[in-house]
Amino acid sequence: MKIKNLVVTVVFSLFITVFFFLCILHEPLAVSESERRPLAQMPEITFDGVISGDTISDFEDYTVDQFPMRDSFRKLYTWYRFNIMQLKDTNDLAIEDGYIAKVETGLSEHSVEHAIGKFQFIYENYLKDNGGKTYFAVVPDKNYFFSEEYGYISMDYDRMMEMLRAGLSEVEFIELFDTLKLSDYYKTDTHWSQDKIGAVADRIAEALGCADRLSGEYTVSELYPFYGVYYGQAALDLPADTIRYLTNETLNACTVFDYETGKTSSIYDLAKFDSKEPYDIFLSGTKALLRIDNPNATTDKELVVFRDSFGSSLTPLLAEGYSSIYIVDIRYVMSSMLGNFIDFAGKDTLFLYSTLVLNDSLSLK
Amino acid sequence: MLFSSIPFLYYFLPIVLVLYFLVPFRFKNLVLLVSSLFFYFYGEPIYVLLMLVSCLSAYVHGLLIDKFRGTKWAKVWMASSVVTSVLLLGFFKYSDFFIANINALFRSDLALLGIALPIGISFYTFQTLSYTIDVYRGDAKVQKSFIRLATYVALFPQLIAGPIVRYTTVEEDLTERKHSIDKFGEGVTRFTLGLGKKVLIANVLYEFCETFRASDDKSVVFYWLYAIAFSLHIYFDFSGYSDMAIGLGKVFGFRFLENFDYPYISKSVAEFWRRWHMSLGTWFRDYVYIPLGGNRVPKGRWLFNTLVVWLLTGFWHGAAWNFIVWGLYFAVFLVLEKFFLKKFFEKIPRVFSHIYVLLAVVISFVIFNAADMTQAISDIGGMFGVLEIPLWSKETAYYLSSYGLLFALSIFGATPLLKNAVLKLKEKKGACVVVDVLEPIVIVALLLVITACLVNGSFNPFLYFRF
């Protein structure tokens, strides 16, 4: 008998035995904090489930999701891929100088067409003859700048803009790409930082004609540490971000009415900082239909903003310019229902969508 | 159940190993059979019955052939066994292919049966066929124990993706086999290396292939990279699986024959097939090619025999035209080599014969991996600049730089250079100790990284399941 074989036998047997017991004894977790998702649970064993293969498939998911030290293994996986295999991205995420970016490559023309169809429906039904103006602004995702800076690939943004301009020829486009740079985005999250988007707000306000009503003076407050959505997905130990949010007298006085719950709150919901989505401090996160009311308004003009999550931090910066801003997220409310809640007459409308949502727009209703 | 899965590694395997080594020898086959049936049931709950029917058919036919040995009935029962096995395989694997082609040919509208392919049916059918034919020929003794025969057919290490283990190879092991720390140690080392080939190399190469398919920015070079990546993927995937099967077999005291022998260093297509999926090649040689007359026949007949064998080889891999074309494609090269190319390549430097084989094989795998012949033609067109695409693109550059190291390691790993280097080191006393010390460390490191990949839920299916 070779000593080496004895050692290999002992080591291998110990390895799988220890993990066998850890798997059996490991207390199942309900959610993964780092991945921000519920974890698969032990499936109920039924005859039909076993025969159809569903139980077994669910069991496979359970064993993977509930594997002991899952987060440590995910870190090892990412480390191995980046450092040993020298792959440039893992789980579609790339990391450079602390910036984590999703390497979006393919442009989904089908998705862009779907989005255009939804926006056209809204325009035709609510905006065409409402006496207001309609604007469209596209927020470039972080990879637009990241790919340029670090030599990664990206989707065909020119083609996307070309399609949007052709499909929405009646609306006025506001160019935002040149108002941003990589450092305007959080390092660990997909979003932009509110204190860095003054130029974006100015460009939009100018186009909307409300620039003279914005003071542009804010107090910056900080919340730390902020681990963005990419942090957990990347599964590497990287420095946290800081959320900086802007306040002034008017913003503090503004109220936010939630049509879903019927409750009124403020622009920043600081309690959300301790939730799974700290970025939700801006307008309380994902909401179908909100209305910001500005009691200090010097105008009776009202604005409707169709938006995704980027709009949560941008829209408050327009609040000084209007008496009310209606904020609609058609991922959570049917477009055809909007007439029941909003009187579009005389209101200007802004569509503010990120390239990420436009390239994956099937959730737009 | 996949070897490269958490349920197999950390639930099934520990339990089976403990049960297997705890019970006395007379129950070991039973433990293996029950665990193998559970292994199959886990992935194919209903089709486990089909496999048992296949085992029973082989068992009964073996007994009947033996009983009527020396009479014409022995041949009848052997033929009956072959017909039964081929019908089962034909029905479950090829029905829809034939129906679809009949519909296309006669413009009929016969409904497809939509039968899900039972995992591993091509492998275990060929094993049962080899058993009854060998019993008929007198090359193997009839197995009177159903448990032993079913253990041979269902043995989980080689059940779903080979190698195609001949009954004669394990005949003695089924009755009497030895277990030892050396066998266990060598077995788990081979198993872990195979698992590493599959999870750490093959899966990532397939990721590249998937990325290529999804890309809107293809180029001629990207097509070539895809073709090379898939050729390397299928080698590491399948040879990795064979390593795992051979390693596990050794753990349980069985000796399975090698299935791969660095096929990409071949200097002719004929040599490639002596090194690639050897258990399939020898199966067709012994049960189809030689019974047809082999090469000791006139040229015309030899040509016919070759075409039949390679048509069947292609068809065995899948019920689609691209697999048939893939098989016949190799037949063309084998014929050309016999009559012309072999002599030609003997006269020119060896490097050209290597290039020729690699080109032929890489293109063959493009046909192999295509969804259909239309895609195969399009992919080959892409490689040779027929499509309206650039020679080079931004995505090509990006993915080449990202996967460059993997390509280099894979190409290196597909040659015997590393193995030879380790063997040379082992010849030196001091270095041998270092290698022996490193081996357990490498095993643990591999298990950790493999587990990390599995936990991350990366792409993981075995390609050869569909055969």
pLDDT of residue B459: 43
Nearest neighbour of B452 by CB, restricted to A3, A50, A80? A80
* CB within 8 Å of B75: residues ≥ 6 apart: B136
Residue B304: HSE in the Cβ half-sphere, 13 Å Cα cutoff: 9
| Residue B398 contacts A where some CB pair is shorter than 8 Å | yes
Give the pLDDT band (50/70/90) at residue B436: confident
Statement: residue A108 has pLDDT above 70: yes
Interchain pair B181, A70: CB under 8 A:
no
A174-A180-A186 Cα angle (round to 5): 125
| Residue A222 contacts B where some CB pair is shorter than 8 Å | no
Please report, for chain B, the start and end positions of each structural domain, with discontinuous segments joined by +: 6-177, 179-260+385-467, 267-377
Say if CB B164 and CB B279 are below 8 A apart: yes
Interface test with B, best of A69, A148, A153, A233 (most B CBs within 10 A): A153
Give the pLDDT band (50/70/90) at residue B399: very high
| Residue A221 contacts B where some CB pair is shorter than 8 Å | no
Mean pLDDT of A148-170: 94
Strands (E), chain A: 31-32, 37-38, 93-96, 99-102, 134-139, 172-174, 219-226, 241-247, 255-258, 264-265, 289-293, 302-307, 324-328, 348-354
CA distance, residue B46 to nearest chain A CA (Å): 7
> CA A99 to CA A77: how far, in whole Å?
19
Chain A residues lying within 8 Å of B13, measured CB to CB:
16
Interchain pair B448, A76: CB under 8 A:
yes
Three-state SS for B342-378 is: HHHHHHCCHHHHHHHHHHHHHHHHHHHHCCCHHHHHH
Interface test with A, best of B444, B455, B465 (most A CBs within 10 A): B455
**Residue among B402, B263, B271 nearest B338 (CA):** B271
pLDDT of residue A234: 86
Return phi, psi of residue A305, to 5°. Answer: -120, 120
Residue pairs spanning A and B at CB distance below 8 A: 132
Statement: residue A266 has pLDDT above 50: yes
Mean pLDDT of A233-241: 89
**Residue among A286, A267, A225, A219 nearest A247 (CA):** A219
Q: How do strand A264-265 and strand A255-258 relate by DSSP bridges?
A: antiparallel
Angle between helices A157-167 and A109-122 in degrees, nearest 10: 30
Chain A residues lying within 8 Å of B456, measured CB to CB:
73-74, 77, 91
DSSP notation for A111-145: HHHHHHHHHHHHIIIIITTSSS-EEEEEEPPHHHH
Least confident of A17-31, B155-169, B198-212, B358-372: B155-169
Mean pLDDT of B261-266: 96
**What tens digit of pLDDT does each residue of B285-312 get?**
999 999 999 888 999 999 999 999 999 9
> CA B216 to CA B230: how far, in whole Å?
19
Q: How do strand A37-38 and strand A31-32 relate by DSSP bridges?
A: antiparallel
Closest B-chain CA to A47: B45
> CA A1 to CA A286: how far, in whole Å?
65
Mean pLDDT of B314-325: 94
Say if CB B215 and CB A105 are below 8 A apart: yes
**What tens digit of pLDDT does each residue of A315-343 get?**
999 999 999 999 999 999 999 999 899 99
> CA A9 to CA A278: how far, in whole Å?
48
Catalytic choice (B61, B233, B277, B317)? B317
Q: Is residue B12 exposed (0-12), middle (13-18) or buried (19+ Cβ within 10 Å)?
A: buried
Interchain pair A85, B395: CB under 8 A:
no
**What tens digit of pLDDT does each residue of A1-49 get?**
688 899 999 999 999 999 999 999 999 999 888 787 888 999 998 988 8
Say if CB B369 and CB B300 are below 8 A apart: no
CA of residue B375 relative to chain centroid, distance: 24
> Is the ipTM, as predicted for this complex, more than 0.95?
no
Closest A-chain CA to B459: A91
**What tens digit of pLDDT does each residue of B437-455 get?**
899 999 999 999 999 999 9
Q: Is B317 marked active-site?
A: yes
pLDDT of residue A17: 96
Angle between helices B25-43 and B146-154 in degrees, nearest 10: 50
Nearest neighbour of B186 by CB, restricted to A5, A51, A153? A5
**What tens digit of pLDDT does each residue of A128-140 get?**
988 899 999 999 9
Greater model confidence, B222 or B159: B222
Residue A176 is encoded by which pair of tokens?
A: 């935002």
Angle between helices B48-67 and B25-43 in degrees, nearest 10: 130
B269-B273-B278 Cα angle (round to 5): 170
Give the pLDDT band (50/70/90) at residue A79: very high
Please report, for chain A, the start and end positions of each structural domain, with discontinuous segments joined by +: 3-96, 105-358
**What tens digit of pLDDT does each residue of B34-59 get?**
999 999 999 888 899 999 999 999 99
- pTM score: 0.89
Nearest neighbour of A23 by CB, restricted to B11, B42, B216? B11
- Buried b / exposed e along A58-76 (16+ C-beta atoms within 10 A): bbbebbbbbbbebeebbbb
